[in-house]
Amino acid sequence: MTRSTRLLSLLQILRSHRRPVAGRTLADGLGISLRTLYRDIAALQAEGAEIEGEPGFGYVLRPGYMLPPLMFSADEIEALVLGMRLVANRTDPQLALAARDALSKIDAVLPADLRAKMAASPLLAGGKPRSPEDQMDLGLLRKAMQNEWTLRIAYRDDKGNASDRVIWPFALAFFDGARVLLAWCTLRNDFRHFRTDRIEILEQGEGRYPRRRTQLLKEWRQKTGVAERLF
């Protein structure tokens, strides 16, 4: 394990714990001595990582520290590139532009060797997914989720039945055949899934909905049994 890889692994371990982790536990997990661990912690602190603690007490990484791009591994760079390319090809124009801009920023700050790997990445994203065109503004939908706004929609189901609803949107899933909005439906008083191409009218409702978006997503996962790593 190279030193840069070891430092990244140390950060990842600390980021996964909210409480102080004993030095011996960290050293054993990385397969290094306590003396090497102390040197690594000092090196990360010198780079701006807010690692607090001392021998015999344990160490904790305070929230807010951003990993410098040079800490990305080659595999992580490829994952980022592929993800950005998928976003650029499969979302609304505003988010697609943001993905391309983010990719440019990553490229600008990478070391030369990783920049070359990114440019030569063999992982490409295909064209537009085979899904019907949306009549609604996906940008407005994303903004509503970010701000926890209620929405009024006119929806037509797979049998052609139309209904007007007030919903609390909390997530948007992208599939090859469709984009699906996850929301709490006040008409049904339950969670419902809406294909975005069947939403004929979408308007901002009155104010914010009374429950946090993250809480709705958590309750949806518990009810449907969908693991967090899958959605």
Pairing of the two strands 162-174 and 149-156? antiparallel
pLDDT tens by residue, 56-93: 889 998 876 655 555 677 788 888 888 888 887 777 78
CA pair distance 156, 161, nearest whole angstrom: 5
Q: Which amino acid is at 123?
A: L
CA pair distance 135, 103, nearest whole angstrom: 29
CA pair distance 226, 18, nearest whole angstrom: 25
> Helix H segments across 64-207?
74-90, 93-109, 112-119, 138-147
Please give the pLDDT value at position 97.
86
Residues linked to residue 191 through DSSP beta bridges, in sequence order: 184
Please give the pLDDT value at position 57.
85
CA pair distance 35, 144, nearest whole angstrom: 51
Residues 6+ apart with CB under 8 A from 102: 84
Q: Which of the residues in the chain have pLDDT under 70?
A: 1, 64-71, 109, 124, 126-134, 227-231
DSSP 8-class letter at 53: E
Please give the pLDDT value at position 119.
79
CA pair distance 119, 217, nearest whole angstrom: 36
Please give the pLDDT value at position 39.
93
Class of domain 3-67: mainly alpha
Going from N- to C-terminal start, the domains of the chain cover 3-67, 70-119, 138-224
Please give the pLDDT value at position 145.
92
Nearest to 48 by CA among 25, 67, 28: 67
Please give the pLDDT value at position 129.
56
Q: Distance between the two ends of the chain, CA-based, in angstroms? A: 32
Please give the pLDDT value at position 127.
61
CA pair distance 225, 197, nearest whole angstrom: 26
The CATH fold assigned to 138-224 is SH3 type barrels. (2.30.30)
Q: Which amino acid is at 121?
A: S
Please give the pLDDT value at position 229.
52
